[in-house]
Structure 1
Amino acid sequence: MAAIDIIDEKTIKISVQLEDALSMIEEARKSTREYAHDITTIVEKMPEFEYTYFCFYAYDSAALFERMLGIDPKQYLSFSLDAPDSFFYSLYGGMTALYEDAKRLALD
């Protein structure tokens, strides 16, 4: 489960692990229509970050991320994400497996 440290009223630090990516993938699989935008955006944009970083908010694709966290990081002025490369590689791979269905559902 993601660890969220509240530094002060304006700042949080989020730490995730491989298991969090697996949870995001499973949630995306169960609700592909709901998360179609997030799925397609992750697959299409993550290569630009060499698969080891991704800014969910830069592309308005944070619904799945926020679901996994259980909070809305936008309530804070600043947050950081600490994640191992395995989190990003697994997230990308899982979203790639869902990509074609998500792309089709996004057009419906």
Structure 2
Amino acid sequence: MRRDVFQAIADPVRRDIIQLLSKEALTVNTVAEKFDVSRPAISKHLKILEECGIVTFNQKGRERYCIIQPKNLIPAFLWIDQYKNLWEEKLDSFENYLTQLQNKNKKNE
């Protein structure tokens, strides 16, 4: 099965793993210790992240280190960024609506 960045970020645990690894490379065991799910479940999430190109592994002795590949998150960032203006316009419109309601209520008091 071909996986992509959107499958990587679709799951909240994988997003948390990405966040965790964005700070530093960690061993698989260290990553697993940070979560309240089983070690096999974390291994499965890491495998999916590897298949999506978001995480690579570096073997050092007996330890496997998880290393984030942030450049492979760019397609998701670009896709989300195209909707930024749309959401900002909607939030601005909502804020204006709330301001009008507040002003109306003040006049009626």
Q: What TM-score, normalized to structure 2? A: 0.31
Highest relative contact order (Cα 8 Å, sep 6+), 1 or 2? 1
Q: What TM-score, normalized to structure 1? A: 0.31
Q: Which has the larger radius of gyration?
A: 2
